[in-house]
Every structure is written in C-alpha cells, then in structure tokens.
Amino acid sequence: MSCTIFYKGKLKEDTTIDALSSIIKEQISKINCSFHQDDNCITVIFNAGNSEPLVFDFDNAKVDNFCKWNGEDENEFYAIFDLFIAIKPLFRSLRITDDEGAWEEYLAKSKPCKIKLRPLVGEIENQLLNRALKNSSDPFGEIEQIVYDALRLHSAAPVLCRIITQDFIKIIGIKSRDDFAPKPIVDFTNNLDFADDHLGKVHVQNFEHTFKYMMLRVWISHAFTYKNRGMVHQLPNNVSGLKSSKLAALFGISSIFLNWHSGIVNSKHTEMNKFADLHYMARIFGTMMFGGDEVKELELFVSMIDYLHFKYVGV
C-alpha cells in the first residue's frame, strides 16, 4: 500500500511544540515507529525508514510538508490519520489531503451516509429493469460484442455494463464494425465539456487505455438529466454542483460497479463508496459482486445517481 499525505497549517498562538509532541507520542505509542524531536522539529519514522517520515518542521509556527506511506499494515496507516485528528485542535488551521482520497473517506466513515436506498420507481426505471432481465437471456449482438470486448474488463456488474454499452452504441451511432473507429469516438468525447482534471483530453494514441472512460463520459453526458435543468451534455460546468457530480459519477460508477479502480476524487465519490459498503456486504476489493441480481444492482445504482442529482432518461 502506498499513499502520499500532504499537510499544511499554523499552530495556535498558545500552543507549544512540547504540547504537540506529547499528543503525537501518545498517538503513536501503539504502533511500530520511532520518534525524534530537535528544537522546532518533530519527526516520526515508520516502517524502519522504508516510508517517507512524518515531519513537523515549524517555521514561524507554520508547517507545510508531506509524508509517503509504503507499508502493509493498514492499522498503522490509519494511525497517521488518527494522529492528525488528535492534533488538529492545536492548530488555527490544518489542511490534510492525499493522492488517494483516503483522508476524506476515513473522516466520512464516522458520519451517517447521505445516500438513501430506494426501490425502482416509474416507467423509465422499470423499463431499465425489463431491459436488464432481457439482456440476461439474450446473446450479445455483433456490434455490441465488439464494443464490449474493447473495454477489456471483467465486470462484477454485468447488468449495468451491458446497458452502458448498448446506450453508447446508440449515442455514437455505431452500425457496423467500420463505425467503431478511434478518431470519431475520441473527437466526440473531447467535445464534451466534462472538465475532468484527472483524465483531461483523450488521444487516439491512448484509445485502448482510455476507451472505458470515454464510454462512461459519453453515457453520463447523453443519458442523464441534472436537477431538471436539462441533459447533462447541454449544461455548462458552472451549474452548481454539476462538475463534482460528473466526476463522482465517472469514477464512482467505474470503480464500484465496473471494476475500474481509481482513487477517491471528491466527497461525493466518498459517499458512494460508503453507501456501497453499507448496503452490500459482499463488496470485495472496492467492487460489488452482484451474482446476477438485476434488481439489487439497479436499486443501488439509481440510489447513487439520485444523490448526485442525476436522472436516467435513456437515449
């Protein structure tokens, strides 16, 4: 396991280094690490020096640093987060981030989940279920098989993955093997105002690697409305909450349902993961194993997109 944790803050005026040192010593007393203090610098070394240390080197009561954890014991990793929680009251401000989104997810686990599970309702959602049930017995069509194979994945959620594939074919207008060409798909995707800072513009040269994300971008943009404001692809990203919801949908659906794992991108994605853990105990390595339960799979999906203020309307 590897994760880089960034921390930046300023101590309160009445906080001493010794007070901070005392709390840190207490927090790390149950894990295997070493502690060093020298004037205004506190250093905690994990994994016998095989991880970048946790260093509080204060300049005018300010700290701006990072540590990189490389270890196997998750309890020791989360002990770092517990340490930050314990010392935070000593700071006027203390900002913690990491390259996996683990900090936000860790904090969210102690709070009630914001997503509520609900059954399928309405004509469109029942049509979606009937389509899923039909797909479970019908073989793949020729074009559908070509596109599905291009994803190069072993999905734990075949119901949703097949629906996305079928919708994508309709949106792009793929009617023959020759229509499934990288350049027009890349151009179509790049014309979407997805504002995805993680993937950015996609390129023909990376088509095989990025196709799965392109397909999901296209589906989110052309099969959903947002807050009754219109189709997602018709709305600018400055509509309140739209950009963060699109990113959460892209990486939440891909990692939870389709076995395309990624780090946590924002707090909405965190809630989606928490919801999955809460309502589906068979979740393994971040992916839910549905075992062909079409109703359960779609109920979890529509509950999540409700939270993101999306509504599936089809293509």
Report field, pTM of the whole predicted structure over 0.85: no
User: What are the residue ranges of helices labelled H in the chain?
Assistant: 17-28, 74-87, 102-108, 122-137, 142-150, 158-172, 182-190, 207-222, 242-256, 267-279, 294-307
User: pLDDT tens-digit profile of 104-156?
Assistant: 778 877 788 899 999 999 999 999 999 999 998 899 999 999 998 888 776 65
214 pLDDT above the threshold of 50:
yes
Q: Compute the radius of gyration of the chain from its Cα atoms.
A: 23
283 pLDDT above the threshold of 70:
no
- Domains of the chain plus CATH, in order, are 2-99 (3.30.70), 122-312 (no CATH)
List beta partners, residue 226: 310
The pLDDT confidence band at residue 282, using thresholds 50, 70 and 90, is: very low
Q: Which of 42-56, 96-110, 221-235 has the highest mean pLDDT?
A: 221-235
Q: Say which residues have a Cβ less than 8 Å from residue 241's Cβ, sequence separation at least 6.
A: 227, 309
**Among 32-36, 130-134, 178-182, the least confident range:** 32-36
In eight-state DSSP terms, residue 61 is T
Can you tell me the distance from the alpha carbon of 281 to that of 240, in angstroms, rounded to the nearest whole number? Answer: 33
What is the rounded average pLDDT of the residues 37-52? 82
Tokens of 40: 């205004």
Burial of 146 (0-12, 13-18, 19+ CB in 10 A): middle
Tokens of 170: 């309709």
Asked if 37 and 135 touch (Cβ cutoff 8 Å), the reply is no
Quote the percentage of the chain above a pLDDT of 70. 91
30 pLDDT above the threshold of 80:
no
End-to-end Cα spacing for the chain: 41
Asked if 14 and 85 touch (Cβ cutoff 8 Å), the reply is no
